[in-house]
Amino acid sequence: MSSAPQPRQPPTQDDQPQALSPQATPTPTPRHMFPTSPSPALVAAEDALLATVGVPVERREVMVAGVRLHYLVCGAPRVAPRVAHEAASVADEPPLLLLHGRGCSGALFAPILAQLAAQREVIALDLPGWGLSDKPPFTGHSGRDALAVWVAGVIGFLDAVGLRQVDLLGHSLGGFTALGVALDHPHRVRRLMLVDSGGLGRDAPSDVRLYFWLKPERLHRWFGRRFLRYVLKQDAPSRPISSGPFFDMMYALTTQSAVIPSGARAFDHWVNLFGVHIDLLNRLGELQTPTLLLWGERDRVTRYHDALIAARHLPRGRLVAFSGCGHMPFVERPDDFARVLLVWLDGGGAPSRV
């Protein structure tokens, strides 16, 4: 796969989106000019994982406000189906943009990329401070500052690649970010999907908070692959992952020391040993975007109880519980997850439990 093919062309002048990030540029910078580059081991681990997807996946990069953002693209733009009363001209449906969780990357959506790409154009972004994107030092002072960095990264990315609107899915930290985008920039999000999302409550188990406070990026370097197997068994109890390309990618991601002063420091201002310091639950009533909550009923990181409360606050929300799953239902039950998601995106209903 090419390491940096050209991104989609920016829209015409008539369609030009509002410039929310004046420093963003739609032209990728050559790799040798990037402020930093991911390690060869991390690049190799991503290549190996993407080789398992079964459909072509392009790796791309773009500069946004001086920060290199890495992202993946697969599938093809889809023309929306036309019903009888609609005009003959039908606009393309927006791409599906995926945002990963803490310490992860877009490549970890690999278990569902082929299923989604069969019907949609899919983009998986590595947020600033994480994955294969740049990791500038975090200089903020609060959880709101951390959220602002991640939201600005998404909006800057959309502007840089010329996307006015997307269907937006976020997992865990990515869900917190996606919710922030939908609340503050509602015109950029057609439909919102929150997967075991953060930002919907302040009840995090003490052992989870301790794990994050001690830094996974240190713990996994100290204790090695056996410790990662233990962690993944807690996150995905119905389908423990102990080897293979997905496991290798997780290990490469969770041993990146460059994350600690960047994404991990930002995360610490949101969630640390002393609690969860910001949530967006009291703003859910503002959200008029159709929203689907997809949740593992055995999740110990972001509890199903939070999803039940959030669903009652959402004016246009729907909750789907994945029986037996933990924090990563798209890894544990990828086919069921993709099927539910695609039906809902096409305007169909969603079951309360799968």
Q: Greater confidence, 156 or 83?
A: 156
Whether 10 shows a pLDDT value over 70: the answer reads no
Mean pLDDT over the full length of the chain: 89
Q: What share of the chain is helix, strand, coil (3-state, %, to 5)?
A: 40, 15, 45
> Alpha-carbon distance 170 to 179, whole Å?
8
10 Å CB burial of residue 283 (0-12, 13-18, 19+) is: middle
Whether 237 shows a pLDDT value over 60: the answer reads yes
Residue 198 lies in a domain: yes
> Alpha-carbon distance 57 to 66, whole Å?
25
Residue 11 lies in a domain: no
Residue 306 lies in a domain: yes
Residue 31 lies in a domain: no
Domain that holds residue 161: 37-78+95-345
Average pLDDT over residues 212-219: 96
Structure tokens at 312: 């009652």
| pLDDT confidence bin for 252, thresholds 50/70/90 | very high
Whether 27 shows a pLDDT value over 50: the answer reads no
Whether 21 shows a pLDDT value over 50: the answer reads no
DSSP of 148-194, one letter per residue?
HHHHHHHHHHHHHTT-S-EEEEEETHHHHHHHHHHHH-GGGEEEEEE
Over residues 316-329, the pLDDT tens digits come to 999 999 999 999 99
- At residue 120, φ and ψ (nearest 5 deg) are -140, 160
Bridge partners, residue 347, by sequence: none
Average pLDDT over residues 283-297: 97
DSSP 325: -
pLDDT at 238: 83
Residue 273 lies in a domain: yes
Count how many domains the chain has: 1
| pLDDT confidence bin for 240, thresholds 50/70/90 | confident
323 touches 351 (CB < 8 A): no
Whether 88 shows a pLDDT value over 70: the answer reads no
Where are the extended beta strands (E) located within the chain?
A: 58-64, 67-74, 96-99, 122-125, 166-171, 189-195, 271-272, 275-276, 291-296, 317-322
pLDDT at 83: 47
Residue 8 lies in a domain: no
pLDDT at 120: 96
Average pLDDT over residues 10-28: 36
Residue 227 lies in a domain: yes
Whether 74 shows a pLDDT value over 60: the answer reads yes
> Alpha-carbon distance 205 to 1, whole Å?
41
Which range (37-41, 46-50, 105-109, 267-271) has the least confidence? 37-41
Which CATH number characterizes residue 50's domain? 3.40.50.1820
pLDDT at 79: 58
| pLDDT confidence bin for 19, thresholds 50/70/90 | very low
| pLDDT confidence bin for 20, thresholds 50/70/90 | very low
